[in-house]
Homo-oligomer: A and B are copies of this chain.
Amino acid sequence: MAKLKAILLNCSLKGKGDEPSSTEKLLGEVAEQLKKLDVTCSTVRIVDHNIKFGVEADMGGADEWPKIHDQIIASDIIVFGTPIWIGHRGSVCQMVLERMDAMLSETNDLGQLPLYNKVAGCCVVGNEDGAQNVSAGVLYNLMQFGATIPPNAEAYWVGLAGGEDDYVDLKKPHPYTQKLVEYISHNLVHLATMLKNNPIPAEGNKAE
């Protein structure tokens, strides 16, 4: 079997030149695990690309979404990473998922939605509260686009009520989050391998 390919979408509000990103840190931990499991990883920092608001596959002009679209389609594993802001998925994450909405009009070679036979997971960081709601919503959207969601396909860190710390500032690893990183990485690989070897038959699930 060819090596599995993963794309990690970093939906931080901050660009590469800015101060350290908690989203980057957590996604990086998942990427490190995936690499140990022999997965080729590619990380895209969305705000460093010119992505336009909209729900079309190509919004024209200098829109750089099409190339990210193609990287997603070429991957076996899709991992979203997003900060929580005011309790919700960040605006950059929502913008990316809006662009993916156009995938509902595309199909793979078998006539299924284009994310069939891919698996998806989600990483979330915030100062406090909101991780599970964000994770549930992102994974659900990806499932609607055709991805399979393995068990425990999430990793998150949030602080206490009213917390002001960032994940990137933690002095030592947070055991619960480390366990989640372990789970998500292994289960993405387990299910992606399974689907690569045994794709979902195109019966009862063709897009119209």
Contacts and interface: CB of A to CB of B under 8 A. Distances in A.
A93 to B, nearest CB: 8
A161 B161 contact: no
Interface residues of A, number: 77
Interface string A188-208: 001100110110110111001
This chain: copies in complex: 4
Given A132-B87, A153-B143, A160-B158, A204 B177 contact: no
B194 A176 contact: no
A74 interface: no
B147 A148 contact: no
Query: Which 3 residue pairs of A and B lie closest in terms of their CB atoms, listed nearest first?
Result: A186-B204, A162-B176, A136-B140
Interface of A: 13-14, 47, 53-55, 85-92, 94-95, 97-98, 101, 112-113, 115-116, 128-133, 135-137, 139-141, 143-144, 146-154, 156-163, 174-177, 179-180, 182-183, 185-187, 190-191, 194-195, 197-198, 200-201, 203-205, 208
